[in-house]
Structure 1
Amino acid sequence: MTMRIAIDTDVCIGAGQCVLSAPDTFTQDDEGFSELLPGARPGGSGVTLAVQSCPVGAISLREEG
C-alpha cells in the first residue's frame, strides 16, 4: 500500500495552514487555494500536521493500491 495526499478543492478555503505546516509539499495557486508541489510525498510530520491543521478538513492522506 502507498499513501497519497488528497486535497478536496471544493472544500478548500485557502487558509494556507498546509503551506505553513509543510512548505516543501504544499503551495497555493493563483486564487489562493491549496495545491501540491511537483514531486510532493506524503511522508513526514509536516504533512500530518497539515492534515490536522486544515480548518475545513480539505486535506487527507489516503491509501492506494
Structure 2
Amino acid sequence: MSFRIEIETDDCMSSGKCVADYPGVFFFDDEELAALVPDARLTDEEIIKVARNCPSRAILVFDENNDQVDT
C-alpha cells in the first residue's frame, strides 16, 4: 500500500513532535507550522506512526484511492 500525508495547518499547534522525530521529512514553515519537505519519503508504517504521535491530530493519512486512513 502507498500512503500519503496531508497536514491540516488549521489544526497544527506547532508542538514540533513530527519535526523532532523526522527532521528530514518535516520542518517549520514561516508561520511556525509543520510542513513537509518536498519529495521526502516515509514508509507506510512511519506515516501511521507520525500521524498517531501528532498531539493535535493535524497529520492526516490517505491511501492510494484518496480515502482517509483511520489512525
Give the structure-2-normalised TM-score: 0.74
Gaps of 5+ in 2: 66-71
Q: Percent identity?
A: 37
> What is the rounded CA distance, in whole Å, between the counterparts of 1:34 and 1:59 in structure 2?
9
Gaps of 5+ in 1: none
Return the structure number with greater relative CO, CA threshold 8 A, min gap 6: 1
Cα RMSD, aligned residues only:
1.9
Structure label with greater radius of gyration: 2
Distance 1:48 1:2, change over 3 A: closer
> What is the rounded CA distance, in whole Å, between the counterparts of 1:22 and 1:50 in structure 2?
8
Q: Which protein has the bigger strand share?
A: 1
Give the structure-1-normalised TM-score: 0.80
